[in-house]
Chain A
Amino acid sequence: MTDPEAGRRSRRRPRQRVIPLEPVPAARMRWVFTLLCLGLIGLMGRMAWLQVMQSSALEARARSVQTQRTDPLGTRRPIVDRAGRLVALDEERFRLWAHPNNFRFPGDDPSVVRQPLDLARRLSGLLALPMADLVQRMGDRPSGIRLAEGLDPETASEVRRLGISGLDLEAYSHRVYPQGNLFANVVGFLNLEREPQAGLEQSRDRDLQRHEQSRSLRRGADGTPLPDNLSPGIFFGDDLRLQLTLDARLQELAAKALAAQVKEWSAKKGVAIVMDVRNGELLALASTPTYDPNRYWDFPPALFREWSVQDLYEPGSTFKPINLAIALQEKVIGPNDTVNDIGQLQIGGWPIFNHDKGANGVIDFATVLQVSSNVGMVQAMRNLEPLRYWQWLSKLGLESKPDTDLPGAVAGQLKTSQQFTTQPIEPATAAFGQGFSLTPLKLVQLHALLANGGRMVSPHITRGLRSGDGLARRNRTLGQPLIRPEVTRTVLAWMESVVEKGSGKGARTAGYRIGGKTGTAQKALNGVYVPGAKICSFVATLPIEDPRYVVLVVVDEPQGGNAYGSTVAVPVAKQIIDGLLVIEKIPPSGGRTAHQPARRPAVALDGAPASAG
């Protein structure tokens, strides 16, 4: 211990004095205690300030750091074709904002501000923009400059990797149509403000908007979400895709064939439609001319509507099989009846000719279709009371808006029942498909009705929304039956003969039984037929033994004297049919190619003379 030592040492001191050991004073220790207590009381005050007075402000501040809020980006669901090929999708793009008053490279002193030129030097390669452009864009403004737009995620991450302070990347969604103009006519497009402007994008806008909600989620600093104050469904994200019934390959094939033909005949426009007759699904709806939805601003807005759904035309001869089916259904003609085609009729003061003004004599209905005899049709339909005829046309929905998901579909035009019944010319012209008008889509629907045994199916191009990579199943709706199946079988047999030896010969395909009907209709403008203005069309049904598809090709105003349904529309339909047979893997129709052997040698194109049977 130190006591004795201290004692020893003190003896050596000059002043030999024993210093008494003073006890540690209690007062001093109380002072120390008081000091500690003051400190603790001070801390209580500090805690009261932090945890009572400032608590709500501090907690709010803490929560704002801890809580991550995500706002909806306004993304849209993708659109895919029937096989899942992408037709429209959202891509993440970036907008690059520059704030020159804050330009700093990584490692720079915080007080340094770089010149826009330094920045442009680093960025111009990445953004593929000339330096001068960038510098000019920045100008003298201190901040908030939109330097570049539409950067893809790779470029954006490279820009981010530069670590330059004063650059800001803003993510946004951009609609991309990878198939270009192929589906533009039905899918439509979004404008730069992401507002739907046409097609399905517009008509099914609500279905295409992705279900997004802004959500607040408290997280740990490493991003782990905390199960705290969560509302139900907060993690729900949808990966739904709108699936079309269209097939991109068939669509492309149809579009190419059609575009080539429209160009060759200098026609105004054309459309090719392929429908599955069993449920009304459209496999192709190709239209020309069309536009590229990725660059919609380069095209006239008139192209943004699909004319085959929105424009009316007089179908002409392609409507004759429908009329015959009506007459057979009403039993005013028999399957084996004949008519005497005398070449010319006078109805209500109006002359009616065959298109070649020739007479075909006594012919059966197969031949009427083969030679496309107007006079024969008028004589056949004369047996049907005009009111009954009008009622049938009305029942087939010529006047009503078709039940379809195609945007902007319009109803056809039919004379009033009073006009139809009091003026004999009306039922007479209707017999060969003139004097009323419909859309090509409606015509396809009516031919599908013949093909599927008399049921009215709704033409449509969407199958529905499906999650992830799932594909929607085929729609199995049965349409409303309107015509007896045996009637339709009879008409189909007649149509098959048209392809076998009539005006539709160009569509003949070895090994397959195909029915069809050509049409070459005059165009009317303000009630007057325009000379030389024709609409050439061809409608085909295949395979006849178990009809599954209707193919319609319509070409508007092909130029040239030889422009007929058989010359303009049939070759396009033939290409589409060839493609369809392969794409849909349709087996050949067994040995027989002709269901109803012709009694007479085959006739040539539309209107070639045939002698009476």
Chain B
Amino acid sequence: MLPLDWSLWPAEARLLLTLTLIWSLAGLLILGSASWWVASREMGEGAYYLKRQVIWMLASWGLLSLAVSTDLRRWMKVAGPAVWIGCLLVAATLLFGDPVNGASRWLPIGPMQIQPSELVKPFVVLQAANLFAHWKRSGVDQKLLWLGSFGALILLILKQPNLSTAALTGLLLWLMAFSAGLRLRSLFGTALVGAALGFSSIMINEYQRLRVVSFLNPWQDPQGDGYQLVQSLLAIGSGGILGQGFGLSTQKLQYLPIQSTDFIFAVYAEEFGFIGSVMLLLFLMLVAFLGLRVALRCRSNQARLTAIGCTTLLIGQSLMNLAVASGAMPTTGLPLPMVSYGGNSLLSSLLVAGLLIRCSLESTSLVGGRRPRRQNERSNQHLAPSR
């Protein structure tokens, strides 16, 4: 079952698996508390969202185990086409999507709703790792092809409009490029272009502009544009140092909107207080640290970049979600990985976690990876284990 005997697993991989499990279970508990009241009011069943989340969680853990047991190179091979398929699906949402809250992010497939912009993220990481791993040796056409593909993807996501996912994808790509050791000048040039793009998007889309303005001073219009953020701040503030106790949030009782997805952290913060918030942030920091360790241990550039990309995606998305909920960033709709309600987000997040663990496993050279054909690639591994 396990791709590698448990005793041979590196400490990072073991820890990451454990932490992912804890994260998932804690996520279920938090979601249960945040969604029960609303589910019983709106769906007639308190466990409505929780049950569905559990099913998605099981499926996502299946995907995680697939990621852990599959050779990273095979993922790399499908990454490119997957990004293109992702582009097509995102484009499809623009044509056939169900508009929810003014944005068409969802594509109905039978009884399910899929969110291509969410599902494409792990493959963006993989393909970016592919591209940046030997950036300097790639031809201009390759660079242009993939940079163009990424750009098209981001633009399509932006068109949904889904500023947050677009920004996250852009930031992710930029940080991966940064990690890959690209020249700082071109990196910061790109950052400027990206910032300009984001700025113009904000200027063009009124709903985004209003959100940005309301984020600066939500109390100006607490019943209007600032409503979500004000309610979130009230929830977080009500938590105090020790919190109200698990299940005892008042703001989740339909004061706080979208409390089981984008603002689920506010419910958590109200129930667990400052101590809970700090523990969550320290937890994220630990995951980030483990991710860094995995990345440093990895033998191939692709694996390294995949590891740092996965870490950046998981932690960066959590960070952005928390920043939105606490009013440190404009209000955008990003789910909190493993916690927010939604199957697409779960699948994507656990696949990313699985890839990270796989990277760690492959760093042992006991599984996966082809025997290096090139000497220079071998020699560049500064931590070559003896075989």
Contacts and interface: CB of A to CB of B under 8 A. Distances in A.
A51 B266 CA distance: 11
Nearest to A45: B328
B181 A40 contact: no
Interface string B251-292: 101110000000000000100011001100100110011011
B250 A47 contact: no
Contact of B250 (A28, A37, A226): A226
Interface string B367-380: 00000001011001
A46 B142 contact: no
Given A47-B277, A59-B237, A29 B253 contact: no
B133 interface: yes
A216 to B, nearest CB: 13
B145 to A, nearest CB: 11
Contact of B235 (A2, A6, A19, A62): A62
Given A58-B234, A222-B253, A21 B142 contact: no
Contact of A57 (B178, B179, B237): B237
B323 interface: yes
A32 B240 contact: no
Given A50-B237, A51-B236, A220-B253, A21 B37 contact: no
A284 to B, nearest CB: 56
Contacts of A39: 316, 319, 323
Interface in A27-48: 28-33, 35-37, 39-44, 46-48
A59 to B, nearest CB: 4
B268 to A, nearest CB: 11
A5 B238 CA distance: 58
Nearest to B177: A28
Contact of B139 (A1, A9, A28, A218): A9
B179 A21 contact: no
A30 B179 CA distance: 8
Nearest to A20: B376
B255 A3 contact: no
Nearest to A59: B238
B76 to A, nearest CB: 7
A2 B130 CA distance: 7
B273 A24 contact: no
Contacts of B273: 51
Contact of A32 (B254, B284, B312): B312
Given A28-B178, A52-B274, A9 B240 contact: no
B304 interface: yes
A10 interface: yes
B187 to A, nearest CB: 10
Interface string B205-236: 00000000000000000000000000001111
Interface string B133-163: 1101111011000000000000000000000
B142 A2 contact: yes
B240 A59 contact: yes
A9 B141 contact: yes
A221 B296 contact: no
B236 A50 contact: yes
Closest 7 CB pairs of A and B: A58-B237, A220-B253, A221-B254, A9-B139, A51-B274, A62-B234, A33-B292
Interface of A: 1-3, 5-7, 9-10, 13, 19-26, 28-33, 35-37, 39-44, 46-48, 50-52, 54-59, 61-63, 65-66, 218-222, 224, 226
22 contacts: A21-B137, A21-B301, A21-B377, A28-B179, A29-B308, A36-B312, A40-B281, A40-B285, A40-B319, A43-B281, A47-B236, A47-B269, A47-B274, A50-B233, A50-B237, A52-B274, A58-B233, A58-B236, A59-B238, A62-B234, A62-B238, A65-B255
